[in-house]
Protein backbone atom coordinates (compact mmCIF):
# COMPACT_ATOMS: atom_id res chain seq x y z
CA UNK A 1 0.00 0.00 0.00
CA UNK A 2 1.32 3.44 -0.77
CA UNK A 3 0.15 6.94 -0.07
CA UNK A 4 -0.26 9.32 -2.92
CA UNK A 5 -0.67 13.02 -2.48
CA UNK A 6 -2.43 14.63 -5.37
CA UNK A 7 -3.97 17.96 -5.86
CA UNK A 8 -3.89 21.22 -7.58
CA UNK A 9 -1.15 23.31 -6.05
CA UNK A 10 -2.43 26.40 -7.85
CA UNK A 11 -5.71 26.24 -5.96
CA UNK A 12 -4.15 25.07 -2.70
CA UNK A 13 -6.18 21.84 -2.71
CA UNK A 14 -4.44 18.63 -1.71
CA UNK A 15 -6.04 15.24 -1.30
CA UNK A 16 -4.24 12.35 0.34
CA UNK A 17 -5.47 8.93 -0.78
CA UNK A 18 -4.35 5.38 -0.23
CA UNK A 19 -3.97 3.09 -3.20
CA UNK A 20 -4.68 -0.57 -2.60
CA UNK A 21 -4.18 -3.62 -4.73
CA UNK A 22 -7.24 -5.54 -5.84
CA UNK A 23 -6.25 -8.38 -3.47
CA UNK A 24 -5.94 -6.05 -0.49
CA UNK A 25 -9.23 -4.36 -1.35
CA UNK A 26 -11.10 -7.68 -1.49
CA UNK A 27 -9.52 -8.76 1.83
CA UNK A 28 -10.26 -5.46 3.58
CA UNK A 29 -13.79 -4.95 2.32
CA UNK A 30 -15.52 -7.95 0.84
CA UNK A 31 -13.97 -10.87 2.74
CA UNK A 32 -13.87 -9.05 6.06
CA UNK A 33 -17.69 -9.00 5.92
CA UNK A 34 -17.92 -12.79 5.45
CA UNK A 35 -17.84 -14.90 8.61
CA UNK A 36 -15.57 -17.93 8.92
CA UNK A 37 -13.04 -19.63 6.67
CA UNK A 38 -15.67 -21.98 5.30
CA UNK A 39 -17.95 -19.01 4.68
CA UNK A 40 -15.20 -17.22 2.78
CA UNK A 41 -14.47 -20.36 0.75
CA UNK A 42 -18.14 -20.73 -0.14
CA UNK A 43 -18.43 -17.03 -1.00
CA UNK A 44 -15.41 -17.06 -3.32
CA UNK A 45 -16.69 -20.24 -4.95
CA UNK A 46 -20.00 -18.48 -5.61
CA UNK A 47 -18.18 -15.75 -7.56
CA UNK A 48 -16.83 -18.24 -10.08
CA UNK A 49 -19.27 -18.76 -12.90
CA UNK A 50 -19.40 -21.10 -15.84
CA UNK A 51 -16.14 -21.47 -17.70
CA UNK A 52 -14.30 -20.85 -14.41
CA UNK A 53 -14.31 -17.05 -14.60
CA UNK A 54 -14.74 -15.02 -11.42
CA UNK A 55 -17.14 -12.09 -11.49
CA UNK A 56 -17.45 -9.34 -8.91
CA UNK A 57 -18.96 -6.18 -10.29
CA UNK A 58 -17.45 -3.78 -7.73
CA UNK A 59 -13.88 -5.10 -7.97
CA UNK A 60 -14.07 -5.29 -11.78
CA UNK A 61 -15.39 -1.75 -11.89
CA UNK A 62 -12.46 -0.39 -9.86
CA UNK A 63 -9.56 -2.60 -11.00
CA UNK A 64 -10.68 -4.06 -14.34
CA UNK A 65 -11.63 -7.62 -15.20
CA UNK A 66 -8.08 -9.04 -15.40
CA UNK A 67 -6.92 -7.70 -12.03
CA UNK A 68 -10.24 -8.71 -10.47
CA UNK A 69 -9.92 -12.24 -11.85
CA UNK A 70 -6.33 -12.59 -10.59
CA UNK A 71 -7.20 -11.26 -7.14
CA UNK A 72 -10.24 -13.48 -6.65
CA UNK A 73 -8.47 -16.58 -7.96
CA UNK A 74 -5.45 -15.93 -5.69
CA UNK A 75 -7.63 -15.34 -2.64
CA UNK A 76 -9.73 -18.41 -3.39
CA UNK A 77 -6.56 -20.54 -3.42
CA UNK A 78 -5.29 -18.84 -0.23
CA UNK A 79 -8.55 -19.45 1.64
CA UNK A 80 -8.60 -23.09 0.52
CA UNK A 81 -5.04 -23.49 1.86
CA UNK A 82 -6.19 -21.91 5.12
CA UNK A 83 -9.05 -24.40 5.43
CA UNK A 84 -6.75 -27.33 4.69
CA UNK A 85 -4.21 -26.16 7.28
CA UNK A 86 -6.78 -25.76 10.03
CA UNK A 87 -7.38 -28.53 12.55
CA UNK A 88 -10.74 -30.31 12.60
CA UNK A 89 -11.69 -29.00 16.07
CA UNK A 90 -11.14 -25.43 14.85
CA UNK A 91 -13.02 -26.16 11.63
CA UNK A 92 -15.94 -27.46 13.70
CA UNK A 93 -16.04 -24.08 15.45
CA UNK A 94 -15.64 -22.31 12.12
CA UNK A 95 -18.54 -24.33 10.71
CA UNK A 96 -20.80 -22.99 13.46
CA UNK A 97 -19.74 -19.39 12.73
CA UNK A 98 -20.06 -19.80 8.96
CA UNK A 99 -23.44 -21.53 8.99
CA UNK A 100 -25.05 -19.12 11.47
CA UNK A 101 -23.99 -16.17 9.35
CA UNK A 102 -25.73 -17.84 6.41
CA UNK A 103 -28.85 -18.57 8.46
CA UNK A 104 -28.51 -22.36 8.17
CA UNK A 105 -27.93 -25.18 10.60
CA UNK A 106 -24.47 -26.76 10.46
CA UNK A 107 -25.68 -30.02 8.91
CA UNK A 108 -27.43 -28.28 6.03
CA UNK A 109 -24.50 -25.92 5.50
CA UNK A 110 -21.87 -28.67 5.29
CA UNK A 111 -24.06 -30.71 2.93
CA UNK A 112 -24.46 -27.65 0.70
CA UNK A 113 -20.68 -27.26 0.65
CA UNK A 114 -20.30 -30.93 -0.28
CA UNK A 115 -22.95 -30.50 -2.99
CA UNK A 116 -20.90 -27.69 -4.58
CA UNK A 117 -17.58 -29.42 -4.12
CA UNK A 118 -16.21 -28.64 -7.61
CA UNK A 119 -16.89 -24.94 -7.09
CA UNK A 120 -14.90 -24.92 -3.84
CA UNK A 121 -11.72 -25.82 -5.74
CA UNK A 122 -10.11 -22.77 -7.34
CA UNK A 123 -8.41 -24.90 -9.98
CA UNK A 124 -11.55 -26.99 -10.47
CA UNK A 125 -9.56 -30.24 -10.54
CA UNK A 126 -11.09 -33.02 -8.49
CA UNK A 127 -8.02 -35.21 -8.88
CA UNK A 128 -5.60 -32.84 -7.14
CA UNK A 129 -4.21 -33.52 -3.66
CA UNK A 130 -6.02 -30.41 -2.41
CA UNK A 131 -9.30 -31.79 -3.72
CA UNK A 132 -8.76 -35.09 -1.97
CA UNK A 133 -7.82 -33.33 1.26
CA UNK A 134 -10.83 -30.99 1.08
CA UNK A 135 -13.15 -33.91 0.38
CA UNK A 136 -11.80 -35.67 3.49
CA UNK A 137 -12.23 -32.54 5.61
CA UNK A 138 -15.83 -31.99 4.47
CA UNK A 139 -16.67 -35.64 4.96
CA UNK A 140 -15.18 -35.59 8.48
CA UNK A 141 -17.10 -32.41 9.35
CA UNK A 142 -20.29 -33.96 8.01
CA UNK A 143 -19.81 -37.10 10.13
CA UNK A 144 -18.92 -35.06 13.21
CA UNK A 145 -22.01 -32.93 12.72
CA UNK A 146 -24.29 -35.95 12.29
CA UNK A 147 -22.83 -37.84 15.24
CA UNK A 148 -21.34 -35.36 17.73
CA UNK A 149 -21.67 -37.80 20.65
CA UNK A 150 -19.55 -40.40 18.86
CA UNK A 151 -16.72 -37.98 18.15
CA UNK A 152 -13.62 -38.14 20.29
CA UNK A 153 -12.47 -34.65 21.11
CA UNK A 154 -8.76 -33.97 21.00
CA UNK A 155 -7.36 -31.56 23.52
CA UNK A 156 -4.00 -30.01 22.94
- Does residue 27 form part of some domain? yes
- Does residue 62 form part of some domain? yes
pLDDT of residue 151: 55
User: Which of 2-11, 74-83, 145-154 has the lowest average pLDDT?
Assistant: 2-11
- Determine the angle formed by the axes of helices 129-146 and 88-101, rounding to 10 degrees: 80
Phi first, then psi: what are they for 39, rounded to 5°? -65, -40
User: Which of 20-29, 42-51, 55-64, 145-154 has the lowest average pLDDT?
Assistant: 145-154
* Domain total of the chain: 1
What is the spatial distance between Cα 92 and Cα 84, in angstroms, rounded to a whole number?
A: 13
Torsion from C-alpha of 35, 47, 70, 119, nearest 10 degrees:
90
pLDDT digits (tens, 9 = 90+) for 69-117: 999 999 999 999 999 999 999 999 999 999 988 789 999 999 999 999 9
- Does residue 81 form part of some domain? yes
Using alpha carbons, list the distances in angstroms from residue 84 to 28, 41, 67, 105, 135.
22, 11, 26, 22, 10
pTM above 0.75, yes or no: yes
Q: Which of 1, 25, 5, 26 is nearest to 17 (CA)?
A: 5
- Does residue 11 form part of some domain? no
- Does residue 154 form part of some domain? no
- Does residue 155 form part of some domain? no
Domain with 26 in it = 2-6+16-147
What are the residues facing 3 on neighbouring strands? 18
- Does residue 139 form part of some domain? yes
Amino acid sequence: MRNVTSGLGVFGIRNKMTLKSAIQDVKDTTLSAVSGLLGKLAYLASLRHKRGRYQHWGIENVYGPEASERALKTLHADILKGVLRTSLPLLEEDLQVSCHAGGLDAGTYIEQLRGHFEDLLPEGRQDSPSAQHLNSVLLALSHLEKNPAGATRLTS
